[in-house]
A = this chain, B = another copy of it.
Amino acid sequence: MKDITQEALRSASFNQLQELCEEIRGEILRTVSVRGGHLASNLGVVELTVALHRIFDFPKDKLIFDVGHQCYPHKLLSGRGDRFATLRTRGGISGFPKRTESAYDSYDTGHAGTALSAALGIAKARDLKREDFQVIALIGDGSFNNGLIYEALNSLKLLQTRILILLNDNGMSISPTVGGTHEVLEELKEGSAPLEDVRLFERYGLRYMGVYAGNDLESLLPALEEAKEHLQRESVLLHVITKKGQGHAFCEQAPDLTHGVTPGKKGEEYATALGEELIALARRDERIVAVTAAMTDALGLRQFFNQFPARSFDVGICEEHASVLAAGLAAGGMKPYYAIYSTFLQRAFDEIIHDVCGQNLPVTFCIDRAGVAGADGETHQGVFDLSYLAFIPNLTIAIPKNIAEFRLMLRMSAAYPAPFAIRYPRGGNEGEAKPLEFGKFELLHSNMSDIIIYAAGERCLALAERVCKRAAAEGLPTPTLVNARFLKPLDEEMLRSRPEKYVITVEDNALIGGLGDAIARCLRGQGKEVMSFGFGDAFIPHGDARALFEEFGPNEEAMVARIRECHARG
C-alpha cells in the first residue's frame, strides 16, 4: 500500500478518509491471506486508527497497544505500507508493535494488560521532563479482565498524570469476553447501565466520556477532538464499540475463528489430542476439571467444555487467577488440568511456585506452543519454559516425543498425586509410543559408538535422527539416541550407567537452565564430555517457525561436526 503523509491525512475530505479505510482493509485482507496474522481484530479498528492519525500527532504523541493484535492499520499509516506485504516474515514487518521497527511504535507488547501501566510510565516521564505530548493506550475489552489493568487503574490518581484510554470494546478476547467487568461494559453499551457503572471509572480518576460507534468516522472524529481537549486537564476513558472483522462478511460472522489466521492446511495437533484424552479421562474420573485463560479453542478444549460444562473454567485473560483457581480446586480434592501457551504461563510463574508446587497440589500444566512459536515473534516464543520450571521443587516436567506419547503422559498425570507439567509444540505427529515409566528416558537406538545423543521433544528428536543418518552416510559411527522425555525427575540411573564418553544434548529451549544443563549437572565428575544444542541467549524474532528453529535453535551442521570431532578424537 502506498504511504500517506500526515499532511495528506489532515487535509483529506471525509470521503477520502472513508476510501482510505477501504484501502487499508483491502491491504490487510490481502496480506493476511498470504502471511497469516490477526485479521478480525485489525479489521475492527481501521476507522479508529484513521481517526487517531487524523486528530493526534504521531510519533510525537505516543500510541500504546495492549497485546498489539490491533496494530496493522497503525503500521499502514506510519510509513510501513510499502513493506507491509512482508508481515510476520523473517526480517519483515512484525505483527506486533516494535520500537526497533519504527518511531511510531512507542512500546512493545504481545501479552495482555500492560498498556495502561506502560502509558502511565511514559506519561509520568513526560511530566518529569516537562515535555508536551499526548499518551494514548488502546486496550481491548478482553484485557480489561486482566489484573494488571486494575493495578494500573488503582494507581492512576496517585500518579497524577494524564492519559487517554481507548477501550476498544468488541465483546471478544480471542474467545468472547467473560466475567463481571464484561457485564458492566455490556450494560454501558446498551445504555442500560445505572449511573454507578459510569462512576466506576471515575472513582479511579478517569473521565468516562461515553460510548462511541468505533467503525463510524462521523462519530469518532469529534469524540477524539473532545477527548484531546479534556486531556489538557484530566485522564479520559473513551468507550469505543467496534465490530471485530468489520467489513468482511465471514470475519464478522466468525470473529473467533478469524482472530488469528494461519495459511495452509492444518495437520495433527497436540491440542486436539489434549481435548480427546481429557474427555476420556474425565469420563472415568469425576475429579478431572479443565481450566483455561481465554484460549479454549486454540488449546483444543472446546469439546471438553461442551461435554463437561460444569467442570470447565475459562476465566478470561487471567493467567494468574487461573493458576490459583486450579490450586484451590486441587486443594478441594479435584484434579485440574490447566492448559496454556508456554509464553503466557510466564504470567503465572509465582503462582506455580507459591500456590501449586509450594503446597504440592496435583495440578497438571498442559503447556502448548513450547519451543519456537514462529510468526508472532519475541513475545510469543516458548523457549524459556524448561528454564523457568526446572528449579521448582515438587514439579514433574515431561516432554513427549510425539502425540501418542503425549497421550500416555496425560494418563500418567491423571494418576499422579502432585504437580505435573507437560510441554509440547504446535503441530506434531501422532506416531507410536511404548509404555511410559515415570522419570525414565527411552533408549531409541543403541549403537557401538562412543557418542550418545539425548534429545527432548518431537522437533529435536527428528533433528537428532537426521544427524544420526547423516553420520551413518558419512561413514561415521551412528550415535546412540535417547528420548529424554523427563526433565524432572531426570533419569539419573540411565545417565550415569551409559558408557559413552561423548554426550550430546538437544532441546528447543534456551540453553541456559534447560535440559543440557540438567544432564551436564548429573554427569559432573563422571569423565564425560557434554555438548549442548538449543537456543542461545537472545530473544527470537518473528518468522517461519521451522526456519527460526534452524537459524536460532540446535544446529544440524554443528551437531554433525561435533560427531566428526568426537570420532577423530576417539
Contact = CB atoms under 8 A, between A and B. Distances in A.
User: Which 6 pairs across A and B sit closest by C-beta, in order of nearness?
Assistant: A121-B328, A147-B147, A125-B332, A196-B196, A151-B321, A117-B324
Nearest to A516: B521
Nearest to A202: B196
21 contacts: A107-B328, A108-B355, A111-B354, A118-B324, A118-B325, A120-B325, A121-B326, A121-B330, A122-B332, A125-B328, A146-B147, A147-B149, A152-B325, A154-B315, A156-B180, A157-B180, A200-B203, A384-B392, A393-B538, A517-B517, A517-B520
A539 interface: yes
Contacts of A416: none
A61 to B, nearest CB: 13
A387 interface: yes
A197 interface: yes
Contacts of A332: 121-126, 129
B158 A315 contact: yes
A161 B310 CA distance: 11
A126 B513 CA distance: 39
Contacts of A388: 349, 388, 391
A379 B358 contact: yes
A288 to B, nearest CB: 10
Contacts of A514: 391
A181 interface: yes
Interface of A: 99, 106-111, 113-114, 117-126, 128-129, 145-159, 178-184, 194-197, 199-200, 203-205, 286, 289, 310-311, 313, 315-316, 318, 320-321, 324-334, 346-347, 349-351, 353-355, 357-359, 378-379, 384, 387-388, 390-394, 510-514, 516-518, 520-521, 524-525, 529-532, 537-539
A346 B512 CA distance: 18
Given A117-B325, A147-B146, A524-B520, A153 B125 contact: no
A108 B330 CA distance: 13
A501 to B, nearest CB: 12
B148 A331 contact: no
Contacts of A520: 517, 520-521, 524
A321 B111 contact: no
Nearest to A526: B529
Contact of A118 (B149, B327, B357): B327
A320 B359 contact: no
Oligomer: number of copies? 2
Contact of A329 (B124, B197, B391): B124
Contacts of A329: 121-122, 124-125
A378 B391 contact: no
A383 B145 CA distance: 32
Contacts of A99: 331, 359
Contact of A353 (B129, B350, B384, B529): B384
A529 B384 CA distance: 28
Nearest to A179: B154
A511 to B, nearest CB: 8
A200 B198 CA distance: 11
B107 A289 contact: no
A111 B513 contact: no
Given A180-B203, A195-B196, A354 B114 contact: yes
Nearest to A314: B158
Given A121-B327, A151-B315, 8 more contacts: A118-B355, A121-B334, A122-B331, A123-B328, A155-B325, A196-B197, A384-B391, A388-B391
Contacts of A313: 124, 155, 158-159
Contact of A537 (B321, B326, B393): B393
A150 B146 CA distance: 8
A500 to B, nearest CB: 15
Most buried by B among A324, A329, A351: A324
